[in-house]
Amino acid sequence: MKQGKKIKKFVKERYGKIAAKGNSCCSSSACNLDLVEQAKSMGYTEQEISSISGEVVMGLGCGNPTALAELKEGETVLDLGSGGGLDVFLAAKKVGEKGRVIGVDMTPEMVEKAEAITRRGNYKNVEFKVGEIENLPIEDNSIDVIISNCVINLTPDKLATFKETFRVLKPNGRILISDLVTKGKIPEDVRQSFNAWAECIAGAMDRQEYLNTITKAGFRDVTVVAEHTYSEPGIDERLAGKIISVQIKAYK
């Protein structure tokens, strides 16, 4: 099995277990933190958290893309790597009854969890699909806005992901991506660690290379709208100051 497929298999299994357990986080070292407080530290407000099912607050992510995506009523939104549906459900409230939000995730257990919450919450404008972000089960030119929260770093082929993102967006459509990138050299043993891949670290790309990849996929006006140094209790001291959380906007 090729390395990329091995990584995907490991990540899928890890997040399947998270879905079954009901909570975790990108970085396992932070899992003892209160999940609501952790969500607030990533940019979610108390009002946003209380407006949705507590089941979807699992400590996953590195930002709040719905806060910066400027979603409008009636828009069609796609969430890459939607997990339990936190950002999908928040986006659904912003686009309203005439809008639509689709979540795509490669982990069947996550999609099943999100679909169960959709039924219990009686969401009419939400849909979840099992699929890989490098090969989206979405029609060409059909999406107004694409969001993603600390997911693209998990894929071994980021250019393929951004090309797919470009394909499904409508002309002049926009993306708002929250993700982790790197600044400085990451130790090779970390890069090769499957656990570090699942914890959103090993697959993180150099900041400028990440921005260049988005441009290479065809996007214009690629802009970092927010960023801060990412750190968690217990993080490898060799990574201090080298992991950056960024929120990036770009247009088709």
In single-letter form, the type of residue at position 176 comes to L
First to last CA, the chain: 35
At 201, the pLDDT band (50, 70, 90 cuts) reads confident
Beta-carbon neighbour count of residue 79 at 10 Å? 29
pTM: 0.87
The most confident of the ranges 55-59, 90-94, 233-237 is: 90-94
pLDDT value at position 32?
A: 36
Torsion of CA 88, 200, 197, 1, to 10 degrees: 30
* Amino acid (one-letter) located at 82: S
pLDDT of amino acid 123: 93
**C-beta separation of 54 from 124 below 8 A:** no
CATH number at residue 241: 3.40.50.150
What per-residue confidence (pLDDT) applies to 27? 43
d(CA 49, CA 169): 28
Tally of domains within the chain: 1
Distance (Å, whole) CA 64 – CA 38: 12
- Judged by DSSP in three states, 230 sits in coil
The parent domain of residue 62 ranges over: 3-251
